[in-house]
Structures are given as structure tokens and as C-alpha cells.
Structure 1
Amino acid sequence: MKIAVMIFFVLFLVFSSGASAYESDQYTNRTQDISDSLDLLDGAVNKAIQDILVRKNAPRTKSRIAKAIYFEIGGLYWADKIERWAAKSPEVEKYDQTRRDSVYKGMPFWATRVNFIFGVGRSFRVNGVMVGSDKFGHFVSQGYKYYRRELRGEPREKLLRKGWFAERWIYGELTTGLFSNADLVANYEGWRFYQSLFEDNVVEGKTAILMLDGDTYAQQRPFSFADHINDYWDEALNPSYAVPSLNKRLRKAIKALCPEYHDSPDFYTSSDDTLLWARYENLGLKDSRQNQFVAICDQ
């Protein structure tokens, strides 16, 4: 009975919140040689921006342009449009993973929760980084929510706290057993994307993506995920905090992958770890670097 109630509660939170129902697995298949989908994903975002700007009644304010982009490639449902497109498109090469054959395989519902029901989402290589499909939903939708709150005058500290709260209680720890530090990074980088539409030097050394031409906006430079995706989007390099019932099982599963780590350590570590931790720590990351391959396999 308790398990049934928990299942109902978890599903209610997932679908009522618009959260992605899928976590992803960046622990397995790391050395697989697949093509980088950066250009394809960049193209999808730039096409969306262009389509919005050439509409007969194109939006003419920051808030309306940001909202239009959100609805064009994001959305209200549990998987954003760009996330679903990337997962289904035959052009976007995926790692050889299935929903059920993952690092979480064989773990009980009360440890993995949503992952037990839905399995894991697909992972791609983008800008040289192994990235789960769910991160694009966080980038577009949660980034938009951060930006909308900023336009309403909400202080940075308050809107970051709301993102942390959502990861703790809605999108992550409560529903999946995982507090995803990488989700918070993708949220934040999505916020920077919306800012960079209109502000110079959000991406250091680059102008805003859009410029005001009379009373309308025009695109003056292309968007690229390369300005936002780094190793801290990868949940093996930037591990999630796992609840105790899941953590002991997850560490055991990582330990079983140590032979692969020792064969090809460069695929399992980040030379930018110290720099990236310093950059993003103030988002409220829960330090789980003890679950990095280097920490578990080199003991």
C-alpha cells in the first residue's frame, strides 16, 4: 500500500509540474565513438529564432521574444519540443543505451522512483560533452523561468533559490532520488542564453544575439550551445547527490565500471573540474564529487 501511494505521489508531481520524466545515464558507454550533434542543435535553435522574427506579427519586446522562443522549442509538457526532437531525430546520433539497460538497472523503485517507472532518456555528444536529453529541457524551460523572473525584478538570489527548491522537491531529489547538480547548471546556462539575446558580453567577447533595427529585432549573430555546454552538464563528471538508499547502489554500479575507467581515464575525468566547481558552486550545488570515477576507482 505504501509503495502504491508513493508511486501515485511521484507521478502526480512529475506530470503536474511539467517536469521531465526522464533522468539520463552518463556513466555507461562513455568511450563509444559517436558524432557530435552541436551543429544540428545549434541549427534547430537558430531556425526557431529566425522563424519567430519573420512572423507577420513578430514579437517586439524582450519578454515576448523570450516567451515565443520558449513556446517554439520548449513547452508546458514533461519533455520540451527540442528535447523530444533530439531524442527522436535519426540525424542526432545517440549513445547505445536503452530505457531499461542503464547504471540504474536492477535497483528497486523506492531507491530510483521515476527512473524505475520510465527508465532513462537518451544521451548525445554535444560540444564534446556527453549530455542527457533532459538537459535541453532544463536549458530552454527552466532558463526561461529564471529570465522571466528577472524581468519582473526578482533578485538573483531569490530566483536561484527557486531553482534549487524545484530541483529538491519537484524535478529531482523527491521524484527521482537524485538532486542533479547538472540540472542546475543547465538551468543557469539557459538563463544566460535568454539574457544573451539582448545583452552584449553575457557570453564574454560576444555581442547580443539580437539587435534592435528600428522598432523590430533582427539576429546579428548565431546562437551556439558551445557558449553554454561544458563538462558540468555531464552527470558523471558533475555527479548528482543521491539519497542514501540509492547512493550505496549507485556507487557499487560505478565501481563495476572501474575497469573501463582505468583503460581510458580521459573519458571519465574533466581537466576543468576545479574551474567549473568554482563557477557554479553558488547555484547551490550539493558537493557529490566523491561519486566521480576518479574518487571511486582510485581509492
Structure 2
Amino acid sequence: MMAAVFATVAIMRIFLFLLTLSLAVEAAEVDQFTRVGPELADALPQLNRAVNQALAESVARANQPLPQAPKRRHRFPRQSAGCQTSRLYSAMSWNLARPVIGQIESFAEKAADIERRTIPLNQSVYRDFLWPQSPSLVLSERMAAVIRVGNTEIGTDKLGHFFTEGFSYFNATDYLRSGPEQGLLFGEWSESVYFGAQTTGVYSFADLVANFNGLRFWNRVLARQPDPLTGLEVQPYVECNHGQWVLSRSFSWLDYVDAAWDESRNCSLFRTLDLLSRVMSHAPECRADELPLARYGDYGLRLLNTSGPAVLPEHLQPEVILAQRQPVIEWRLSAEMIEHLRSLREKLEQWRTTQAQQLLDDQYE
């Protein structure tokens, strides 16, 4: 009896932790299946301009003189900052990679001259999700808008993923010096837990594509490693000239955005069969045949969903991915611990199912 009580308390604590975390990060979903209204105008010029302005401001911030220890009382001479890499990345992340909701994502959501399509939760393919199944989505009702970039429609949330999670990939890979694997694992982990499956119920491959392309962007800031997608040397956005950082070329979203950012082509997975069934009851059309398979090569196995909507498989469960991330985490997971985490996740799902069924029963009483 006591063991059952302790197990229930543990499950509740895990759920409350996930709920708090998901509401804190404001994990959003986007509905690109429900299409209403005319074709959106291309937002590429406005978005390019916003990013290039942020890059210029970041370079200026990184070049600001540093204070020196005073040589005379009340006087604080300053010295040139020089080309400090850490200062440049800090300035750029300050202007572009804000946690929770990124600056360019906010800009795309609010700019008066950008056309958007927003599908409210109660009209979306996620309208039948219940709060125990999808707490952050149902309780916050936060749905990202859809915009057009070039010839591709994407969710505004992808802009935040590109810069913020892309920068997390960049850090996880030691500025790509260790290759992209730990970045990919970080993305799969975050998507299986707090940005997706455990909070909204949705595991988004399009999010992972935006993250990966964000890694490509951050690498190209100084271009000290080959492009992880092509393996080729690339020209940097920023170079050091006489002890000062200078912008050497302009940014364009067309270098990164493609059909794989579109969730109606690169379709999502769902945590349970019930969630999948609730979405499929609205007959979404997944155009997986339009995915850019050749562009992503072997990475496509991790970033592209060629089979359409399905249930999240075993190899993408949180404890499985966590075990693979052990080279960069501070503790070692034994087989027993991994099995314990799996058991907790399964018990949490049973609790969610019970609570969801109770909600349904209450509605029909």
C-alpha cells in the first residue's frame, strides 16, 4: 500500500515538474495542415533585414572598448576590445538567441508588415488534446503563426529554434570541434522532453531541422569548421580586421530554409497512439514526398520523417537518448537506472490516461 502511495507521489512530482518546465519555456506548436485565406506574402525581405541589423549591432557591441584599471583617481581609461571570440558570441547570442521566445521569432509574430496565418488551438488539428496529455499546449493555448519565407511556409517558432537551440547545439559540440553528434542528441532529448513529446505530446522533426540549420549558422559566424551539412569550407559572416570585428557578408534565410521546415511535409510524431488518433481524425495531409532528401543525405535519417505521422518509437524515448548523451553529462546511468526512468515514464503515461478518461467521463455525466 505504502509503495503505491509513494509511486503516485513520485508520478505527480514528475508531472508537476514537466508542467512547470513546459509553461516556463512556453513550448508552442504550429498547425500547417489547416489552411485558410489567400497565399501569404513573402516575409523574406523583412526577416533578412531584422537579422542583418541584429548582426551589425552585435559586432558593434563586441567591439566596444573595455575598461582598464584606473591609473589616476576618478579616471578610467579604456582599451580596445580586440577580436575576442567569446565576446562576439556573447553579443550575438544576446541579440539573437534569447531563451524561451527568440527575438526574431517575436519580431515575426508582431511586425505590422509581415503577413501571418494563425490557427487558434480550438480550430487546429490539436483541438481534441486534453490537458493531462498535453499540458503546456492546452493550458497556454500558445500556437505559433505561419509565415512564408521564399517559397516555404514555416512556423514562427522555427525562427526561435534556429537561433536559440542552434546556439545550444553549437555549445554542445564545442563550437563544432567535436562534430555534430552531441548537438543532434541534445535536440532529440529536448524534443522528447520539454520542447515536445512530454509537454505538448508532439515530437517535431521540423524543429530539429531548424535547430540543425541554426548550428550551421553559428558555425558560419566565424566559419572555423566546415559546414556540418556539406562538409565544405564556407565564408564567414564576421572577420577580424586590424583588431576589430567587421561584417564581411550579409545573412539570408534562403541559405537555410527549405521544405523540411514545413510541418505539413516533415510531419511530426506523437507520444501515444491516442494523441495520434486525435490528430488523424481531422484528416491532415502529410506531403512527405516533397521532402528534400538529397539535401540532407545521411542526416535525413535523424531529421526527416519520410513515413508521415506515427507514434514516437522506442529509440526516441527520453531515457534511451539520455543514455547516449552520457559523454557530456556529469553522471553515469546504469542499466538499472535507465530501466527505472523507463518505468517512471510508463507510469506517468498511465496516470495521464486515467486523468484524461476522467475528464471525458465528467463531460458526459
TM-score, normalised with respect to structure 2: 0.68
Q: Deviations over 1:49-96 (max 9, x none)?
A: 1112223347833333222112112213x2112211211111111015
Q: What letter is aligned with 1:13?
A: L
Once the two structures are TM-superposed, the CA of residue 140 in structure 1 deviates from its matched residue by 0.7
- 1:62 aligns with 85
Q: How does 1:29-44 map to 2 (within 5 A)?
A: 29=35, 32-44=38-50
Once the two structures are TM-superposed, the CA of residue 154 in structure 1 deviates from its matched residue by 4.5
Q: Deviations over 1:101-129 (max 9, x none)?
A: 21212332234332212221211111221
Once the two structures are TM-superposed, the CA of residue 199 in structure 1 deviates from its matched residue by 1.5
Q: Deviations over 1:127-169 (max 9, x none)?
A: 2211111111111111111112333654532232122111112
Alpha-carbon distance in structure 2 between the residues aligned to 1:161 and 1:213 = 36
- 2:125 aligns with 103
Q: Which runs of 5+ in 1 are unaligned?
A: 262-267, 293-299
- 1:246 aligns with 275
- 1:297 aligns with none
More displaced 10-residue stretch of structure 1: 67-76 or 134-143: 67-76
Q: Select which of 11, 16, 21 maps to 1:8.
A: 16
- Aligned CA distance change for structure 1 residues 208 and 239 (closer, same or farther; 3 Å): same
Once the two structures are TM-superposed, the CA of residue 26 in structure 1 deviates from its matched residue by 0.8
Paired residues of 1:73 and 1:140 also in contact (CA < 8 A)? yes
Q: Deviations over 1:185-229 (max 9, x none)?
A: 111100100111112873868521112212222111100111111
Q: Select which of 111, 118, 123 maps to 2:140.
A: 118
Give RMSD over aligned pairs: 3.0
Q: Which has the larger radius of gyration?
A: 2
Q: Select which of 53, 58, 80 maps to 2:59.
A: 53
Alpha-carbon distance in structure 2 between the residues aligned to 1:274 and 1:59 = 43
- 1:278 aligns with 297
Alpha-carbon distance in structure 2 between the residues aligned to 1:54 and 1:140 = 19
- Aligned CA distance change for structure 1 residues 31 and 274 (closer, same or farther; 3 Å): farther
- 2:361 aligns with none
* Number of positions where the alignment pairs a residue of Structure 1 with one of Structure 2: 278
Alpha-carbon distance in structure 2 between the residues aligned to 1:59 and 1:269 = 48
Once the two structures are TM-superposed, the CA of residue 271 in structure 1 deviates from its matched residue by 3.5
Q: Which runs of 5+ in 2 are unaligned?
A: 1-7, 66-80, 311-365
Q: Select which of 15, 22, 39 maps to 2:28.
A: 22
Q: How does 1:195-210 map to 2 (within 5 A)?
A: 195-199=219-223, 202=227, 207-210=235-238
Three-state SS of the structure 1 residue aligned to 2:240 is strand
TM-score, normalised with respect to structure 1: 0.81
Alpha-carbon distance in structure 2 between the residues aligned to 1:134 and 1:219 = 27
- Aligned CA distance change for structure 1 residues 272 and 167 (closer, same or farther; 3 Å): closer
Alpha-carbon distance in structure 1 between the residues aligned to 2:265 and 2:147 = 15
Alpha-carbon distance in structure 2 between the residues aligned to 1:45 and 1:13 = 29
Once the two structures are TM-superposed, the CA of residue 173 in structure 1 deviates from its matched residue by 0.8
Alpha-carbon distance in structure 1 between the residues aligned to 2:194 and 2:33 = 24
2:250 is the alignment partner of 1:228: no
Paired residues of 1:21 and 1:114 also in contact (CA < 8 A)? yes
- Aligned CA distance change for structure 1 residues 5 and 158 (closer, same or farther; 3 Å): closer
- 1:86 aligns with 108
Three-state SS of the structure 2 residue aligned to 1:235 is coil
2:163 is the alignment partner of 1:140: yes
- 1:176 aligns with 200
Three-state SS of the structure 2 residue aligned to 1:35 is coil
